[in-house]
Structure 1
Amino acid sequence: MDVIRTKAALRARVAQWQAAGEAVALTPTMGAVHEGHLSLVRLGLERADRCVATIFVNPRQFGPNEDFTTYPRDEEGDLAKFRSAGCDAVYIPDPGQMYGTDYKTEVTVTDISDVMEGASRPGFFTGVATVVSKLLIQSLPDIAIFGEKDFQQLAVIRTMARDLDLPTEILGAPTVREADGLALSSRNAYLTPREREIAPSLHRAMIAAAESVRTGAAPHVAAEQAKRDVLAAGFQQVAYIDIRSQDTFAPAEALSENLRIFAAATLGSCRLIDNIAV
């Protein structure tokens, strides 16, 4: 497995594979690798001949009071996990490779970035769209794979790639969960043992809300009940629990096709996000 630290070396390696007729998949991550990330690598190797993972804790997607400095980092452990999954290369740029000293450009996707995570974390999706566009341009892979746990982020990236005519197919991969339903996330490491017991309550409340809508409840009523359930379970704050169209992100008024329930809530020092189809 190659460990690559410059964009020139990354582009040369991917171009070498493509010149030999091999398709290349890219799986961007911020490290703190878990089974969810490894599932992206395995999907990449199913859909392409080569898979490149990236590790970059992107400062531009963290707000001033968020956890950039404390975000879990374990380069040696991450490399071992990617190697075990069959990854062909891992790209680990430093901030200077990604953003030069006179860097001035941002990529913003309007409309679908303005709700839920975008409203809760101003600037977050601009940071995501900027770094992902740069990773795609630096590597020019045939496909890039992102987890559906961050479903709104996936939609933003798909829109960005389409609108900028980037020659990469954007694929979504199913959310990977613990046996009790908790969606895998690097930030789950922040949970205390007691909080870890409470955490699956978010997923259970979402399942109950989805079932309620399917059996006739108004989406806003089901979402409000889910918020009450999550707070009653021990979460300190609910940023949002919304039922929306997964195509347009417009709020749902009644049961229809392609509805999805989205949630973000705080438990201790950990902010959990999740989504499921209705």
Structure 2
Amino acid sequence: MFVRVGLLVLSFVLGVGCRDESASPTKDPEATPSVSPPASVAVTPPSAAPSPAAPTLPVLPPRKVASKTLVDGSLLGEFSFERAAGDEGMAWLAAEDACVAAGKHLCTATQWQAACDADPAVAAVETWTLTPERDAGFFVRGGGAGCGRKTVAPGAQANPFRAGACCTPALAAAGRDIQPAMLRAMAKNVLDLERTLNARRASALAGFFDERVRVFLKEKSRAEAVGVFEHEFGKYEDYATVHELCDFSADDTTYTADCRKITRFGGKIGLVLTRYLFVGGSGKLRSITDPAVYRAFAEP
């Protein structure tokens, strides 16, 4: 009996597999077996594993950080510091763009340290800084006890426990035998130049240039120098520069600012030493050169 049933089943399977494809299309098609579960069985779609909740990092409302003398003797001007909600988990470039959209920039490592010295609560959150490390990556501050924690992370790395902090411009000014009031005036001149560069207003630079000005490798007239920057601003819509530290020296007729600055253009970031030569009385810019590149321009 079992053998007979087995043969019948086998002949049915073979018959289905070898059925005549030339049969009349008007012939009733074979019924398709139902794969639906019985009505009494509820179908529950598989649920994805729950993703971990994004951490909520403490917000630090805008606050003024007072001017102070740093441990190296340089004078850091007053600035505003803020960590807004929603900036956690960003890569470096996204964090910087968020600050730029707010009219600020990521705080430099120098600014972060000053803000943390003023309020140790700043150290509670691991934070991107604007400052590149010379080989690769960017300095990350905080995320531990006290204000001394410092690490380096690749710019493309997004960490849900890392945030950005935004600052208004301020630079650390150093100068042997230069009085603090004069240092502040010199630093203000550089910061005014920085704001004009970041506004990408080439025509406004004419007010900073002397009648003849050396721009990197060539001496140019004031109008020609303006034209150089007009070309650069037109070519690179993301052009921006931030001076972190300037070392000033002065003689009877001129003063020099050797400035460590972070510059961005064409999607690349570089750390450069730029030397500005100003006329002493007028404060007009007579020369701009780049004696050293601390970190070659590269994508963050």
* Fold match by TM threshold 0.5: no
TM-score (norm 1): 0.26
TM-score (norm 2): 0.24
Q: Which has the higher contact order (CA 8 A, sep 6+)?
A: 1
**Which structure is larger by alpha-carbon Rg, 1 or 2?**
2
